[in-house]
Amino acid sequence: MRRGRLVRAAAVAVVMVLLSSCAVRTDQLARDPGTVRMALNGWVGYEASAEVLAHILREEMDYQVQLVRVDEQPSWQAIDQGVLDVIVENWGHEDLMELYGPGGNGTAVDGGPNGNEGVIGWYVPAYLEEEYPEITTLEGLKENTDIFRTAETGDRGEFLGGAPGFVTQDQGMINAFDLDLQIVFAGSEPAQITEVRRRYAEEEPVLFYFYEPQWLQEELDLVKVDLPPYEDGCADDLEAVPCDYPAYELNKIFRAGFVEEDDPAYRFLDNWTWTNDHQNEVARMIADEGLDSSDAAEIWVEENPDVWRPWIPAGFDAG
Amino acid sequence: MTTPSNRGAGASDGAHPRREAAPGFSASPWFQALLVIIVLVVGYVIARSLGIGGGFPGTTGERFMAWLDGIYAWIVVNRNDSPLFLYFFNYVSVGLGSAVVLIDRLLGLLTWPGVTVIGVLAAWRVAGWRVALLVLVTFGVFALTGLWDESMTTLALIITSVSIALLFGLPLGILAGRSDRFHRAIRPVLDFMQIMPAFAYLLPFVLLFGIGNPAAAVVTAVYAIPPAVRITALAIRGVPKGAIEATTSLGSTPWQILTKVQLPSARRTILLGVNQTIMLAVSMVVIASVIGAGGLGDAIYQALSKVNVGQALQAGLAIVMLAIAMDRVTGAVGHGTRTPDIPDRYRLPLLGTGLIVSIVTVGVARLLGVEGWPRDLSVDISGPVNAFADGLQAAIGPFTTALGTWTLDRVLNPLSAVLGGAPWPLVVLCATALGAIFGGWRAALVSAGSFLGVGLLGVWGNAMDTLSQVLVASVLTIALGVVVGVLMSRNDVFAVILRPVLDAMQTLPPFVYLIPAVALFGIGRVPALVAAVIFALPPVIRLVNDGIRGVPPATLEAATSQGSTGWQLLTKVELPMARGSLLLAVNQGLILVLSMVVMGALVGAGSLGFDVVFGLAQNQLGLGLASGLAIVCLGLFLDRVTQGRKVRRA
């Protein structure tokens, strides 16, 4: 093991020298052959998936795994640059697929659904629905925007936006539904969650961008506002979006080179699919019980061999 | 700890006598400034009643952003074809990325006992046993927080980027020290680099060098270079002319003058520049975690994504210890104090013994299969910290929230309305007038140019909102800073207690206290304001304290013997005589508050800062960079207005 690491360090050095003697393409950057480099986007659900996969790759398949914490858009860029091998939970981003996918420069490949289904929408706490039963309908919301007024927004209702890296069409929806709301950009997910928790504790009104699967859904009783469902093309003009967010079939994105190598690590990630419940089990351990994410992944892996055994590629021998 | 030299050490020429004897009231700059503000408010009221709104006409901003977005798209398409990338950027990228990884591996190979022994021995040799003890405690914190590996990654990144910064910074500084023309040319560049928020140039560097360690190393180096250049130039310039003339008359070549006279006598000052460079690098590696640099910054980020303040504080503590230890070691080298006095003949044997001890430690540790500190043997303080944070929120939450609402209603909203709602030519005029009043015609020109620049960048509205937040935070910072600074100068015990607190405040990554601020004040501009005040306060307190303590005791005695009361002593003697330090404190306070604009956007401050963050997160180079440049414009204005007089004199 120790010797292996030395050899690897030497290998990196050799590769460096070799590379510096010719033109360098970004997708040829130095990299350990036995290492899988995974994007780690900033929400806990993603972290749960990534840590479970990393744990199995490390412990069962003897790979090194590098988890690189970056936002959604930059992770695509990193795939393009050859710095990352896989995004395990991608939410939409058709525009990026056009840019980097087979139709674009061909550096990214759609790896198919990972089994999780994503819902984005507008949420209010359940206690608010008890007080204003109609608040979860568009008409009810329209009439009651004044209850969301805060010092920050003055005489308009406050809509608490999501983290800047997330997929959003909120302003378009506010425009199209003609709501008297002003977006306050939370700026980061932890800030948004802290604020929602604070209001929840005081039973104050709050209307905010949120999504599922998300661990906070387990801690707080939240209700999604019913808006006209998504139809193809209704969100094309971001200035006016007269519909809710689409339901997302979350998918994996691979680096094209990683797919071509057809390594067992790739086949394992390709085989992997699991459900929202699986992800939430792990996410809850991380966020609610405060477990270290790798510990939470280990516990889940120990308890659920039937789920993950089939992901290991046929004929793979960990040696 | 030395204050971060955002403005360069050259700016602090200490207390200087008042320019003229008590000017007439109407000629007082404060009176004139008040007039300007009244004109602005009246103008706003008139404009509003006439239905004229704020805002800046034209589409130059949009075109500029579109042009930048075009560059972005070009790079994405051509990254693997253009020779610029194939033969330059990708090389740098591979080289730096690999350097960080190799250093990290090396630290791993040395094992934790090895790294600790080498670190402590080296610290003892250059800085004495007190600092060595501090270094030992620092390694202890790394280990006990369970963040050993992360700390080593961060250390590797710091070593790489500080090396780059010094590799470029020292020669540039020497050049600037020897050539006036080059000095004049590079100063605005350094000003620009220091005012530009780090977040705003993350994206361009990611684009050029690739996500992760390479871009992180470059960005950190860029952020940390200015003090290296500035202080080296200052040090070279500070070498007595007589010494150089003497050597020249003996027929020395310029190279000999540099290596035999200038560098040796400037050595200590240059080392202080190195110290500043390292401190900036430490603060930047945390921000660099946003673009995929691992290490302690990443640990903080990870804890925050679970809204686990205690865990984030734990990682923050490791950063604080790292920063303080590095500061003390390099600071001691710079001051040349506290170094154990070892006779020449023992030096070589001592070095040998140290090497042997290190080698044996590493060897034994490797034989025993030790690598990083075992994670199981760590102490978790996050539970109590979180409990404390929750308790605090429960206890004073209602009060702080009310205070936040009041600040918004009474201070921030009106100010933002005036700045954003007044017709833009009036705002530009007022800024120009302020520049002229406080800094002379040069500052007036810069002020006018900055505001026009903001307008042309197409972000006028956001910039005015940001300016209102910066002004409020700065006034708070300076007021608090003066009060605490005066108290600190009065009471030695208080000063001794306060000093480590200030050290911690200055080095604790702001990420850590952003979230508790939201819990207490509610999301929006107020928690951002609070965070900015916390961040900018320490240097202001220090400068005020230093300034007052620097007043000659003889002057104080004279005033006391004439029967001055304590209050008179303070307002008539001490504060006026500390004027130089106070001005510098105001200037530092403003610039540091401004540097928190982007951080504040992470908790809902919106405006320019949010657009910078949004640009980075959504790959919108145009929006992010334009907003970043607008922050630079505001910074130039605030900087010139608060230190214009000195610039005119220099």
Q: Do the Cβ atoms of B210 and A81 come within 8 Å?
A: yes
Domain limits at B337? 103-179+206-369
| CB contacts, 8 Å: A170 with chain B | none
CB of B191 closer than 8 Å to CB of B138: no
A41 to chain B, any CB pair closer than 8 A? The answer is no
Q: Which DSSP letter does residue B373 get?
A: P
Distance from the Cα of A187 to chain B's closest Cα (Å) equals 4
pLDDT at A2: 52
| CB contacts, 8 Å: B610 with chain A | 164, 185, 187
B453 within some domain: no
* Confidence class for position B452, pLDDT limits 50, 70, 90: very high
If you measure CA to CA, which chain B residue comes closest to A24? B86
B177 to chain A, any CB pair closer than 8 A? The answer is no
How far apart, in whole angstroms, are the C-alpha atoms of residue B32 and residue B25? 9
* Confidence class for position B237, pLDDT limits 50, 70, 90: confident
Residues 278-307 in B contacting A (C-alpha not used; CB under 8 Å): 289-292, 294, 298, 301-302, 304-307
A26 to chain B, any CB pair closer than 8 A? The answer is yes
Nearest to A156 by CA among A183, A192, A175, A130: A183
Q: Do the Cβ atoms of B606 and A188 come within 8 Å?
A: no
Q: Which residue, among A2, A6, A18, A24, would best test binding to B if mutated, counting the most B CBs under 10 Å from its CB?
A: A24
Q: Which residue has the higher pLDDT, B260 or A97?
A: A97
If you measure CA to CA, which chain A residue comes closest to B99? A13
If you measure CA to CA, which chain B residue comes closest to A69? B292
Rounded to two decimals, the pTM is: 0.85
Beta bridge partners of A109: A254
Q: Which residues contact B240 (CB under 8 A, 6 or more apart)?
A: B265
If you measure CA to CA, which chain A residue comes closest to B302? A42
If you measure CA to CA, which chain A residue comes closest to B617? A165
What values do phi and psi take at B565, rounded to 5?
-80, 170
Give me the CATH number covering residue B124: 1.10.3720.10
pLDDT at B476: 93
* Confidence class for position B507, pLDDT limits 50, 70, 90: confident
B272 within some domain: yes
| CB contacts, 8 Å: A257 with chain B | none
B255 within some domain: yes
Q: Which residue has the higher pLDDT, B473 or B618?
A: B473
Q: How many domains does chain B have?
A: 1
B95 to chain A, any CB pair closer than 8 A? The answer is yes
| CB contacts, 8 Å: A78 with chain B | 210-212, 292
pLDDT at A303: 93
B206 to chain A, any CB pair closer than 8 A? The answer is yes
Distance from the Cα of B367 to chain A's closest Cα (Å) equals 11
If you measure CA to CA, which chain A residue comes closest to B369? A2
Nearest to B619 by CA among A246, A27, A95, A250: A95
A35 to chain B, any CB pair closer than 8 A? The answer is no
How far apart, in whole angstroms, are the C-alpha atoms of residue B647 and residue B626? 28
Q: Which residues contact B579 (CB under 8 A, 6 or more apart)?
A: B15, B16, B18, B547
B93 within some domain: no
| CB contacts, 8 Å: B369 with chain A | 2
| CB contacts, 8 Å: A105 with chain B | 76-77, 80
pLDDT at B17: 41
* Confidence class for position B90, pLDDT limits 50, 70, 90: confident
How far apart, in whole angstroms, are the C-alpha atoms of residue A286 and residue B131? 38
Q: Which residue, among B514, B523, B598, B618, would best test binding to A if mutated, counting the most A CBs under 10 Å from its CB?
A: B523
If you measure CA to CA, which chain B residue comes closest to A154? B409
**pLDDT over 80 (residue B581):** yes
Nearest to A70 among B90, B291, B519 (CB): B291
Q: Which residue has the higher pLDDT, B364 or A31?
A: B364
B339 to chain A, any CB pair closer than 8 A? The answer is no
Q: Using omega within 30 degrees of 0 as the cis cutoff, is the peptide bond preceding A213 cis? A: yes
Residue B271 in tokens = 């080392």
**pLDDT over 90 (residue B367):** no
Q: Do the Cβ atoms of A164 and B603 come within 8 Å?
A: no
CB of A107 closer than 8 Å to CB of A80: yes
B365 within some domain: yes
B149 to chain A, any CB pair closer than 8 A? The answer is no
Q: Do the Cβ atoms of A198 and B105 come within 8 Å?
A: no
Q: B482: phi > 0 → left, psi -120 to 50 → alpha, else beta; which?
A: alpha
If you measure CA to CA, which chain A residue comes closest to B413? A152
* Confidence class for position B2, pLDDT limits 50, 70, 90: very low
**pLDDT over 50 (residue B12):** no
A11 to chain B, any CB pair closer than 8 A? The answer is no
pLDDT at B16: 43
For the segment B50-56, the average pLDDT, to the nearest whole number, is 75
pLDDT at B644: 55
CB of B517 closer than 8 Å to CB of B527: yes
Residue B70 in tokens = 């075009």
A99 to chain B, any CB pair closer than 8 A? The answer is yes
Q: Do the Cβ atoms of A184 and B210 come within 8 Å?
A: no
What's the average pLDDT block by block, 10 residues per block, for chain A (319 residues)? 64 63 53 79 88 92 86 85 89 86 87 89 92 90 89 87 85 91 88 90 91 83 91 86 90 92 90 91 83 89 92 74
A98 to chain B, any CB pair closer than 8 A? The answer is no
* Confidence class for position B649, pLDDT limits 50, 70, 90: very low
B358 to chain A, any CB pair closer than 8 A? The answer is no
Q: Do the Cβ atoms of A69 and B524 come within 8 Å?
A: no
First to last CA, chain B: 28
B17 within some domain: no
Nearest to B543 by CA among B599, B582, B572, B501: B582
What values do phi and psi take at A109, rounded to 5?
-130, 135
A180 to chain B, any CB pair closer than 8 A? The answer is no
Nearest to A194 among B98, B294, B519 (CB): B519
Q: Do the Cβ atoms of B294 and A69 come within 8 Å?
A: yes
pLDDT averaged over chain B? Answer: 83
Residue A91 in tokens = 């939410």
CB of A153 closer than 8 Å to CB of A312: no
B641 within some domain: no
Nearest to B354 by CA among B108, B124, B112: B124
Q: Do the Cβ atoms of A71 and B617 come within 8 Å?
A: yes
CB of B613 closer than 8 Å to CB of A164: yes
- Domains of chain A, first to last: 31-117+248-311 (3.40.190.10), 120-236 (3.40.190.100)
pLDDT at B136: 93
**pLDDT over 50 (residue B325):** yes
B55 within some domain: no
pLDDT at A17: 61
pLDDT at B337: 59
A19 to chain B, any CB pair closer than 8 A? The answer is yes
If you measure CA to CA, which chain B residue comes closest to A77? B211
pLDDT at B336: 62
